[in-house]
Structure 1
Amino acid sequence: MSPLNMFSRLKNRKSSATASQHGSLPPIDKPMPSQCVSSPPVLPAATMHVKQSLQPAAVMQPKPATAAAPKPGSTDTVRSVVVHAKKLGSGAYGAVHLGTCYSTDGSVHCVAVKVISAERMRLESLSREASILKRLSRAGHPSAVRFYGWFSPGSKKVSTDATGPELTNLEVSHCLVMDRLSGGELFEYVLARKGLSEREAAPFLRQIAEGLAHAHSLGVAHRDLKLENVLISASPSGDDICKVCDFGLAYRYEVDGSGKVLKGRPLTETCGSKSYAAPEVLEGRGYDGFDADVWSCGICLFAMLAGFFPLDEATGADWRFERVKLATQHRQSATRTIFSFYDRPCQLSSQVVDMIDGMILVQPNRRLKTEDVLQSMWVIDDTIKADYADEYMYDEAPRYRGQAGSFDPNAVSGYGGQQDMAPLYRGAPAGVIAAPPPLMKQLAVLGQ
Structure 2
Amino acid sequence: MGAATFLRTVLQGRSSASSESEMASAASSSEDLFERYGIDHTKRFGEGGYGATFAAQDRKTGEAIVVKVIDTRKMKLALIQKECQFLETVKGNEHIIKIHAHGLGQNKHSHLYFIFMERASGGELFDQLTTHNGPLPEKAAQQFMRELVDGVAHCHKLGVAHRDLKLENVLLNDAGVLKVIDFGLSHQYAVSADGQVDRSKPIEGFCGSKSYAAPEVLLGRGYDGFQADMWSLGVCLFGLLNGFFPVDEAKPTDWRYQKLVKSQEQGRSSVATILGWYKKTPAHLSDNAVNLLDALLSINPLRRPSIQDVLAHPFVSGIEQPNYDEMSDSLHYRGAGMQQYGAFTADDMEIIDDGPVYRSLGGGFDDEFDAVEPPPMPGLARQAAFGGSDGMSLALDFTF
User: After TM superposition, is the score higher than 0.5?
Assistant: yes
Does residue 191 of the first structure (1) align with residue 130 of the second (2)?
A: yes
TM-superposed CA distance for 1:446, in Å, is: 1.6
CA deviations on 1:200-232 (whole Å, 9 max, x unpaired) are 100100110110000111111111110001111
> What is the SS of the residue equivalent to 2:229?
helix
Tell me: CA distance 1:186–1:78, structure 2 relative to 1, closer, same or farther (3 Å). farther
Does residue 153 of the first structure (1) align with residue 153 of the second (2)?
A: no
Q: Which moved more, 1:195-204 or 1:337-346?
A: 337-346
Does residue 79 of the first structure (1) align with residue 16 of the second (2)?
A: no
Tell me, yes or no, if the aligned pair for 1:112 and 1:179 is still in contact at 8 Å: yes
Does residue 313 of the first structure (1) align with residue 249 of the second (2)?
A: yes
Letter in 2 for 1:253: Y
Letter in 1 for 2:154: H
Letter in 2 for 1:202: Q
TM-superposed CA distance for 1:290, in Å, is: 0.8
Give runs of aligned pairs for residues 43-192 of structure 1, distance below 5 A.
Answer: 73=30, 79-82=36-39, 84=41, 86-90=43-47, 94-103=50-59, 105=60, 107-137=61-91, 140-154=92-106, 172-192=111-131
> What is the SS of the residue equivalent to 2:131?
helix
Letter in 2 for 1:145: I
- Paired with 1:439 and 1:263, the residues of 2 have a C-alpha distance of 32
- From 369, 373, 386, the equivalent of 1:432 is 373
TM-superposed CA distance for 1:143, in Å, is: 1.4
TM-superposed CA distance for 1:264, in Å, is: 3.7
> What is the SS of the residue equivalent to 1:445?
strand
- Paired with 1:146 and 1:266, the residues of 2 have a C-alpha distance of 29
Tell me, yes or no, if the aligned pair for 1:195 and 1:304 is still in contact at 8 Å: yes
CA deviations on 1:359-418 (whole Å, 9 max, x unpaired) are 11111121111111111112233768xxxxxxxxxxxxxxxxxxxxxxxxxxxxxxxx95
- Paired with 1:154 and 1:354, the residues of 2 have a C-alpha distance of 54
CA deviations on 1:69-114 (whole Å, 9 max, x unpaired) are xxx849769613315355544555x2441321233x3x22332323
Tell me, yes or no, if the aligned pair for 2:243 and 2:380 is still in contact at 8 Å: yes
Letter in 2 for 1:279: P
- Paired with 1:278 and 1:259, the residues of 2 have a C-alpha distance of 26
Does residue 205 of the first structure (1) align with residue 159 of the second (2)?
A: no
Q: Which moved more, 1:346-355 or 1:431-440?
A: 431-440
> What is the SS of the residue equivalent to 1:101?
strand
> What is the SS of the residue equivalent to 1:272?
strand
- From 256, 277, 280, the equivalent of 1:344 is 280
> What is the SS of the residue equivalent to 1:108?
coil
Tell me: CA distance 1:170–1:439, structure 2 relative to 1, closer, same or farther (3 Å). farther
Count of aligned residue pairs for this structure pair = 324
Aligned partner of 2:331 in structure 1 is none
Tell me, yes or no, if the aligned pair for 1:184 and 1:233 is still in contact at 8 Å: yes
Letter in 1 for 2:62: V
Tell me: CA distance 1:185–1:338, structure 2 relative to 1, closer, same or farther (3 Å). same
Tell me: CA distance 1:339–1:422, structure 2 relative to 1, closer, same or farther (3 Å). farther
Q: Any unmatched runs of 5+ in structure 1?
A: 1-71, 156-168, 385-416
TM-score, normalised with respect to structure 1 = 0.66
